[in-house]
Chain A
Amino acid sequence: MGLLSRDRGRLRTAGLRAVRLVSLLVAVAAGCFALMAGSPVDPVEAYVGADTAAIGSEQRAQIEERWGLDEPPLERFGVWAGHVVTGDLGTSQVFGQPVTEVIADRFAASLSLLALAWLLSGVLGFTLGLLAGATRGRLLDRVLTWWAYTLASAPTFWVGLLLLYVFSVSLQWTPVCCAAPLGTLPGEVSLLDRVHHLVLPALTLSVVGISPVLLHTRQATLEVLASDHVAFARAQGERLPGLLLHRVARNAAGPALMLQFASVGELLGGSVLAEQVFTYPGLGEATTTAALRQDVPLLLGIALTTALVVFVGNALGDLAHRVAVPRTREVAA
């Protein structure tokens, strides 16, 4: 009986969450569409480009009619949303390809960058946070904490510029731009080349995520080290490395994991800047290009894609938190 009602409760929460998620996605789509429709950019002019003067008002009216621009915004949104649901996001004006293809290509390029940066910031942030917490008040802790706070106030793109100058211009260890050597065909690029071009942008991008993870892990480490079960383990003769490994790491991992998954949005935002600095042909660079060259369909497509990625990130974060911290499973039910 009790089990049944609990199951029903769980189903109810899951249902509510799904409704909420769908409503948010629809609202994001509608909001983005409204922003684009309200922008002073004239889609016909953006499409025709420099030849605006060459087309007459008749041709203009024809294009507008063909695109349905003479219809009320709500109807246009309906038509657009209908296409989106069937997976058709329109054609990118800048790239001359379907938006879905451009996004798929670019996202594939960005994915390795994002994944590497995400891993780097998570592993570095967690390890350094454990270290800082374990050496509370000593020089190492103070240096790490200061460093984390400073990184948090440094502009991402500036960090990228510094790395670019030091490693690519002065030392010439890494390439100055792009995802592959200039003049090579996409099929010929070796894995080593790819990694070589990836290191610096990934390092820049990981800077965004390190400080929150570091500071939170430090805090969690301090709390766990002050708890009774650690005092008990100490009394049994456990030393600091063992304590960190067996008692602290697991307890601090839950919040860190959740934070790390929730930071996917920040990471995507940072990738716009990092890819601009290193001219890396990923989704972030496409975002800037789309905005600068007024490619509305592409911009809309990117907005929807990134919103979806953020949703997935948050959901995975909740899931990871539940796996790492069994206590929360009971509370959630």
Chain B
Amino acid sequence: MSSALSPVAGARWADRRTRTLAGLGVALALVAAVVVAGTLAAGPAQVTDLAARHRPPSLDHPFGTDRYGRDLLLRTLVGLRLSLLVGALAALLSGAIALLLALLATAGGRVAAAVVDWLVDLFLALPHLVLLILVAFALGGGTDAVVLAVGLTHWPRLTRVLVSVGRETTAAEYVAVSRALGHGRLHVARRHLAPHLVPHLSVGVVLMFPHAILHEAALSFLGLGVDPGEPAVGVLLADSMRSLSAGHWWLAVLPGLGLLLVVKLVDRVGEDLRLLLDPRSAHL
């Protein structure tokens, strides 16, 4: 029965896997393209042309120009690169914190577990944006402060996931056998826990990325994040509010659309990774 079915199922899975891999490749290539284009555009994005102020989108300027005649497409690309950078740094920082705390909670005994649980609750006690504002304020603002603020506040949910995975793993019988054979906590953590945590961690970090990007943009939009002179997407959108009533719609619509697309791309990368690393979740 199973031998009759498996070739078909196998073929379908291979097909789906290839498709997922292809989608992942395309999404990654696009993200890389945005980063490269943003790096190249850093200089030209600051070039002003007062003769071409507030031009609507055209072939010369696909996204139009702002109040100093600067090309909005270039500025958006620079901003998206910054978003991706901040997102990456913050997601890695939060991922590291989450892993550390999860290991502590699973390998460190009951008191450690209770403390980690309490810490997670503590960081979820304030609305996330209010917490971000407080941390960014305490760090004095600027790009570094935003990276730190976003990176230091995104770990609670991932920690919860990792802790529950860790608990499930350490409760398994083979871990009990391993313990009975005299292996210490370090051995269990490295040989049994890590292989289960790593897939969840990598997927969690990538899926944290969009949140981090959106929170960076929100802080910059409020004027509490990236230096207002720098073309971050949040700053561009905050600027656009000045001339929205004059009908300059492209200043508001297009950078936001760019951000939405980048967020969806990164989200796609995360979902594809999840499908590849944890095929069972595809059926949920």
Enumerate A290-333 residues with CB–CB distance to B below 8 Å: 291-292, 294, 299, 302-303, 306-307, 310-311
Q: Is A40 in contact with B135, judged by CB distance below 8 angstroms?
A: no
Q: Is A310 in contact with B126, judged by CB distance below 8 angstroms?
A: yes
Q: Is residue A169 within 8 Å, beta carbon to beta carbon, of the partner chain? A: yes
Shortest CB–CB separation between residue A179 and chain B, in angstroms? 18
CB-CB under 8 A for A292 and B129, given A35-B134, A161-B252:
no
A268 to B126, CA, bound (A): 10
Q: Is residue A270 within 8 Å, beta carbon to beta carbon, of the partner chain? A: yes
Closest to B265 in A: A153
Q: Is B126 in contact with A35, judged by CB distance below 8 angstroms?
A: no
Shortest CB–CB separation between residue B128 and chain A, in angstroms? 5
A31 to B118, CA, bound (A): 14
Q: Is residue A93 within 8 Å, beta carbon to beta carbon, of the partner chain? A: no
A214 to B175, CA, bound (A): 39
Stretch from B46-54, B85-93, B210-218 that touches the partner: B210-218
Q: Which of A23, A25, A165, A307 has the most CB of B within 10 A?
A: A165
A155 to B210, CA, bound (A): 10
Q: Is residue A104 within 8 Å, beta carbon to beta carbon, of the partner chain? A: no
Q: Is residue A39 within 8 Å, beta carbon to beta carbon, of the partner chain? A: yes
Type the 1/0 row for B95-127, where 1 means its CB is closer than 8 Å to any CB of A. Answer: 000000000000000000000001001101111
Enumerate B224-281 residues with CB–CB distance to A below 8 Å: 224, 237, 240-241, 244-245, 247, 249, 252-253, 256, 259-260, 263-264, 267
Q: Is A39 in contact with B218, judged by CB distance below 8 angstroms?
A: no
A288 to B220, CA, bound (A): 11
Enumerate B185-224 residues with CB–CB distance to A below 8 Å: 210, 214, 217-218, 221-224
CB-CB under 8 A for A310 and B127, given A24-B122, A158-B237, A165-B253:
yes
Q: Is A39 in contact with B138, judged by CB distance below 8 angstroms?
A: yes
Q: For B245, list chain A residues within 8 Å (CB).
A: 169, 176
Q: Is B244 in contact with A154, judged by CB distance below 8 angstroms?
A: no
A266 to B126, CA, bound (A): 9
Q: Is A165 in contact with B249, judged by CB distance below 8 angstroms?
A: yes
Q: Among the listed A25, A39, A277, which residue makes an inter-chain contact with B139, where contact means beta carbons less than 8 Å apart?
A: A39
Closest to B240 in A: A161
Q: Is A310 in contact with B218, judged by CB distance below 8 angstroms?
A: no
Q: Is residue B133 within 8 Å, beta carbon to beta carbon, of the partner chain? A: yes
Q: Is residue B44 within 8 Å, beta carbon to beta carbon, of the partner chain? A: no
Q: Is B253 in contact with A24, judged by CB distance below 8 angstroms?
A: no
CB-CB under 8 A for A161 and B237, given A35-B138, A155-B217, A306-B127:
yes
Q: For A266, list chain B residues within 8 Å (CB).
A: 127-128
Question: In the complex, which range does the number of interface residues on chain B fall in?
Answer: 35 or more
Q: Is residue B140 within 8 Å, beta carbon to beta carbon, of the partner chain? A: yes
Interface of A is mostly: helix
Q: Is residue B130 within 8 Å, beta carbon to beta carbon, of the partner chain? A: yes
Q: For B237, list chain A residues within 8 Å (CB).
A: 155, 157-158, 161
Q: Is B241 in contact with A277, judged by CB distance below 8 angstroms?
A: yes
A303 to B125, CA, bound (A): 10
CB-CB under 8 A for A291 and B137, given A161-B240, A303-B126, A306-B130:
yes
Enumerate A30-62 residues with CB–CB distance to B below 8 Å: 31-32, 35-36, 38-41
CB-CB under 8 A for A153 and B210, given A161-B256, A299-B137:
yes
Q: Is B137 in contact with A39, judged by CB distance below 8 angstroms?
A: yes
Q: For B136, list chain A residues within 8 Å (CB).
A: 291
Q: Is B252 in contact with A162, judged by CB distance below 8 angstroms?
A: yes
A270 to B130, CA, bound (A): 10
Shortest CB–CB separation between residue A175 and chain B, in angstroms? 11
Q: Is A310 in contact with B241, judged by CB distance below 8 angstroms?
A: no
A101 to B221, CA, bound (A): 28
CB-CB under 8 A for A31 and B244, given A153-B263, A155-B256, A310-B127:
no
Shortest CB–CB separation between residue A75 and chain B, in angstroms? 20
Q: Is residue A217 within 8 Å, beta carbon to beta carbon, of the partner chain? A: no
A307 to B126, CA, bound (A): 5
Q: Is B128 in contact with A269, judged by CB distance below 8 angstroms?
A: yes
Q: Is residue A28 within 8 Å, beta carbon to beta carbon, of the partner chain? A: yes
Q: Is B253 in contact with A23, judged by CB distance below 8 angstroms?
A: no
A149 to B266, CA, bound (A): 13
Type the 1/0 row for A151-186, where 1 means its CB is closer than 8 Å to any CB of B. Answer: 001111110011011000110000010000000000
Q: Is residue A211 within 8 Å, beta carbon to beta carbon, of the partner chain? A: no
Q: For B218, list chain A residues within 8 Å (CB).
A: 155-157, 273
CB-CB under 8 A for A150 and B260, given A155-B217, A273-B222:
yes
Q: Is A157 in contact with B221, judged by CB distance below 8 angstroms?
A: yes
Q: Is residue A276 within 8 Å, beta carbon to beta carbon, of the partner chain? A: yes
Q: Is A23 in contact with B252, judged by CB distance below 8 angstroms?
A: no
Q: Is residue A27 within 8 Å, beta carbon to beta carbon, of the partner chain? A: yes
Closest to B233 in A: A155
CB-CB under 8 A for A164 and B221, given A24-B122, A268-B127, A287-B133:
no
A269 to B121, CA, bound (A): 17
Q: For B137, list chain A residues within 8 Å (CB).
A: 35-36, 39, 41, 291, 294, 299
Q: For A292, list chain B residues within 8 Å (CB).
A: 222-224
Q: Is A273 in contact with B221, judged by CB distance below 8 angstroms?
A: yes
- Chain B residues at the A interface, C-beta cutoff of 8 Å: 118, 121-122, 124-130, 133-140, 210, 214, 217-218, 221-224, 237, 240-241, 244-245, 247, 249, 252-253, 256, 259-260, 263-264, 267
Apart from the given pairs A165-B252, A265-B124, A272-B130, 13 other A-B contacts in the complex at a CB distance below 8 Å: A24-B125, A35-B138, A40-B140, A149-B267, A153-B210, A158-B237, A176-B245, A269-B127, A269-B129, A270-B129, A273-B129, A273-B221, A292-B222
